[in-house]
Structure 1
Amino acid sequence: MGSGAHRGALCLIPGGAGLMGTNRPVIKLDGEAPQRRVKLKPFLLGQTPVSNAEFSHFAEQTGYVTEAEVFGWSFVFHLQVPAAQTTVQGAAGAQWWRRVDGADWRYPAGPLGAESLPDHPAVHLSWTDAQAYCAWAGGRLPSEVEWEHAARGGLGDVTYPWGDAPPDDRAHLPCNIWHGNFPSLNTAADGYAFTSPARSFAPNGYGLYGMAGNVWDWTADLFRLKSLSKAGKAHAAAMRGYRVIKGGSFLCHASYCTRYRIAARTGNSPESTTSHMGFRIAFDAPPGRG
């Protein structure tokens, strides 16, 4: 590691032929297909997304100021916004997102909301913020294929980190996603209306928590699409310069967004910050491990 000290646990992810993508795409426009094999070296990956306690240590050590703090605002999901917070503006085309002045990793719902919880994933962090933390700790963001390989937990071609059984609103609740009618009613059947502690639910086969739901993970890669269709080319142009995010969040639901699948992918602009995006750190494995 570098001069910093990432305090979170790390899991050794074995090298080999990592699977990326799927031959059973659900959101074809996102470039989920085809599935391919990529040779990978072993690496270390954060057992959880970087927590508020870990990010707080970084900020205290370095004096780092996040982009949301510099901008003075961030996007907060509308049901998280405190009733007393009146100065909010809806996002064009997605009115469930509200621009809230003063929202950042310390105050995820804005200055009139509660302080962030130490054991929850840090959110309202841009790709640039994630890069800064990783550089301080001597690590890096995982590549998209590393993230997918790690999420499979040694199970191979599966849909979710636990296998192929899809989560539902009643019996199978293996992760923190939306339950109810998006975006107006969340029954919180899994126990959480918004973020959950970073070590919630069962880990996958490599010991990783939260590889589906809870918060999105930034990756190192640019969001690229290879498409010959008119719609695909337009989608690629709209997302030029975006970075890949993986894993879905507490807002994902089968009726709206099924991107809590391992092969699912989307992107966001590097400066974007929201109340459901975080990151986890990766390191090259020391010689002789993996």
Structure 2
Amino acid sequence: MIVVTGATGGLGGTTVEHLLKRIPADQIGVSVRDTAKAQHFADRGVRVRQGSYEDPAALRDSFTGADQVLLVSGNDPAADMVGLHRSAIDAAVAAGTRRILYTSQQGAVPGNPYRPSDIHIATEAILGDSGVAWTALRNGAYGPLDQVLGPWQRTGEIAQPEDGPVPYTDRADIAEATAVILTGARSFDGCVTLTAPTAVTFDDFAKIATGITGRTIKRIVLGDEQWVAEQIVVGVPEQMARLMLTWYQAARAGYFADSDPLLAELLDREPRTVADRLAALTDT
């Protein structure tokens, strides 16, 4: 059995949908905080059990019988995520899991100023000491492009801090590739990187968007403190704004610049490009 945590979230839920296309439903389980939100999976034959990283006993029960567990990383900046990930790994080991897969992040290396990188580095180290086989999926940035670019369709501007090349990756492609890894015969040991094939900058986005829309989309570089101040004005807590600023700092320092061919290999097709995704946005 394959058990997926966070299955009511975007990445976890989409991964389960792709698993259902590849293996029988009774070989899939989900571990979720609120089982009512996973009823649509239960109705299709998926085993649904309550479990959260804060409740090790429930987590062990939700992992019972699992050959593989997909741990979707937490993202609460106020929580001890390393400690919670350790509890989840311990629960999977205690349940007899053969392999643990963990959703890490591209560029999770020492020195990366993006603060969540430290959580992923520490969690990967815990996996390495766990005594079971493990795979860290270092996923490329897969956030919604409107979230990344801001209100560019309304303003005609991509007004963000200085950036650097990033292989922005479609979440659905990552979910599909994750399902391929979970159900395939090939073992992936340690860290693997899943990204779109091409890294682009906001300058590139502006050019692509201009070509798609027929409007002139400008790239405006905001100073770091100006951007933080503007985020606070629109209601973003300062702590969160400064955390996100470290992502731009990491991008401009080149920590996300590399791309990897593995995603395309797993999908057996080219992943969706930023042009594909921008065109889809303008069609809505």
* Same topology, TM > 0.5: no
TM-score range, shorter chain: under 0.3
Structure with more strand by fraction:
1
TM-score by length of 1: 0.24
Structure showing greater relative contact order (alpha-carbon pairs closer than 8 Å, 6 or more residues apart)? 1
Bigger proportion of residues as helix: 2
> Whose radius of gyration is greater, 1 or 2?
2
- The TM-score normalised by the length of structure 2 is 0.24
